């Protein structure tokens, strides 16, 4: 019997058309982004008034609990601090 591949939880930030940020978690961040963008039934209420443009930040965690805790931390940040977080990861990856 094959072992089931262990999935990682993504914590992500999506930027909207008007420049607002949405933070969420998912086992499949890209699928979830497409749902937010295209699936009227599955999109978050947040996107009823603003169109998602792109995923601008993500982190991965081994458990849902860790991802939820990090999502909460990010949601507590001001937009300025979120911008600093996004900038820091871009600089680290370049």
Q: Where are the domains of the chain?
A: 9-93
The whole-number average pLDDT for the span 49-58 is: 95
pLDDT band at 2 (very low <50, low <70, confident <90, very high): low
pLDDT of residue 5: 64
pLDDT band at 15 (very low <50, low <70, confident <90, very high): very high
Q: Give yes or no for residue 84 having a pLDDT over 60.
A: yes
The CATH class, in words, for 9-93 is alpha beta
pLDDT band at 93 (very low <50, low <70, confident <90, very high): confident
CA distance 70 to 64: 10
pLDDT of residue 4: 59
- Tokens 């993504």 locate to 10
């Amino acid at each position: 019997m094959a072992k089931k591949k262990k999935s990682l939880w993504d914590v992500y930030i999506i930027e909207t058309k008007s420049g607002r940020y949405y933070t969420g978690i998912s086992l499949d961040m890209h699928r979830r982004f497409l749902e937010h963008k295209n699936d009227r039934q599955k999109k978050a209420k947040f996107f009823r008034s603003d169109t998602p443009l792109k995923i601008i930040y993500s982190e991965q965690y081994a458990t849902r609990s860790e991802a939820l805790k990090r999502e909460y931390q990010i949601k507590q940040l001001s937009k300025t601090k979120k911008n600093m977080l996004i900038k820091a990861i871009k600089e680290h990856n370049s």
